[in-house]
Amino acid sequence: MTEFHDLAELALNRDNQSWGNLGYWKSATEYSDACRALALLLGEQAGLDSQSEVFDAGFGCGDQLLLWLTDFRVAEVRGVNLSRSQTAFARTKLAAAGFKAAAIVQGDISNSETWHVALGGNRPSHVLALDCAYHFPSRQAFIAQAHRQLAPAGRIALTDFMLSDRHRTGSFTHRLLVRMLKRSHIAETNIVHRARYLDQLRTAGFEEVRITDISQHVMPGFASFVRTSPASAKADWPARLKHAVTGRFLQWAYRRSVLRYFVISATRSGR
C-alpha cells in the first residue's frame, strides 16, 4: 500500500541528506540547508541541551534525530513516526552514525500504547514535533498526551500552521481551504486561529507559551524552491506532482493571508 508520508523528499536533498520539512529560508538557498535551519530553530526555542531527553513525535528519515544528538548533544532521543519506509530509513541512518535506533518506533501518535512502547516508562524533558503536528489525527489530543507524558517542567515545541488572524472561517476562501486540507491529509480541526491554539495549550496544562510567526521565511521559500530548482525535477512524477501542488497551495495560502506558520513552545505546569 502506498504511503502518503514516504521517501519523496529524498530527491530534493543533497547527497547523504534526507530531510523532509518545509524549511526555513531566511538565508538558505538549498533544501537541505533550509530544512536543517528549521530544525535548529525548533531546537533552540525548545531549549535543548546536554541534559535533554527528547521524544520526537514525527522524526521523518532521521536527519533531525542526528541533529538533536550531535548539534545539541542531548542525553537521549526516542520517537514515533507513522511512515514505515521513513522509520526503516531512520533506523539505518542512526545505526550508520553509531547511535542506537531501538528507541524509535513506527506507529500512530494518536495511540497511547505507541507512546508507551517508545518511551519505555521514561518521562522525557522535551516533546518535539517538527513540521508534522498538523498531519496528526488530532493535534489537540497530541498536546494533551504530551502534557501527560512529559516530566515536571518539561517542554513541548512545535512548528505548525495556524489560520491567519485575518481569515474568516465562514468565507468562500475557507471552503476552498477545507478542500485543500482534505487532499493534503490534514484534519480541518487542526487548523485554528492563534487564540484557539493558545487556548488548547493552556487547557492541556501548559504555560509560558511562546508563539513566533516565521511564515515569511517558510511558505514562500518552499514554494519558490519547488517551482524553480532543478532538484525538484529529479523526482519521479508522483513526487514532482506532490511537491508542485504543495508549493502552489502554500503560495496561495500565504498571499491570501489564509495560513501562517509558527514556531511554538510551552512549559508543562503541575507535577
pLDDT of residue 99: 87
- Distance CA(129)–CA(140), nearest Å, equals 13
Q: 81, 201, 75: which is closest to 142 by C-alpha?
A: 201
Q: b or e along 142-167 (b: 16 or more beta carbons within 10 Å of the residue's beta carbon)?
A: bbbbbbebbeeebbbbbbbbbbbeeb
- Distance CA(149)–CA(125), nearest Å, equals 9
CA angle 189, 186, 163 (to 5 degrees): 55
CA angle 159, 162, 164 (to 5 degrees): 135
pLDDT of residue 1: 45
Q: 16, 185, 6, 1: which is closest to 85 by C-alpha?
A: 6
Kindly report, residue by residue over 72-85, the tens digit of the pLDDT. 999 999 999 999 99
In the numeric block, which cell numbers belong to residue 135?
A: 498531519
Q: Where are the alpha helices (DSSP H) in the chain?
A: 31-46, 63-70, 84-96, 112-119, 139-149, 172-183, 194-204, 219-228, 230-233, 237-255
Kindly report, residue by residue over 179-213, the tens digit of the pLDDT. 999 988 899 999 999 999 999 999 999 999 999 99
Residue 200 CB coordination number (10 Å):
17
**What is the mean predicted confidence (pLDDT) over 119-128?**
94
Range of weakest confidence among 88-102, 105-119, 151-165:
88-102
Give the global pTM: 0.94
**What is the mean predicted confidence (pLDDT) over 137-141?**
96
pLDDT of residue 137: 94
Residues 6+ apart with CB under 8 A from 74: 48, 49, 50, 52, 53, 54, 68, 126
Total number of residues shown for the chain: 271
**What is the mean predicted confidence (pLDDT) over 215-237?**
86
**What is the mean predicted confidence (pLDDT) over 113-122?**
91
Kindly report, residue by residue over 89-101, the tens digit of the pLDDT. 999 999 999 987 6
pLDDT of residue 243: 87
- Strand 76-81 and strand 53-56: the pairing is parallel
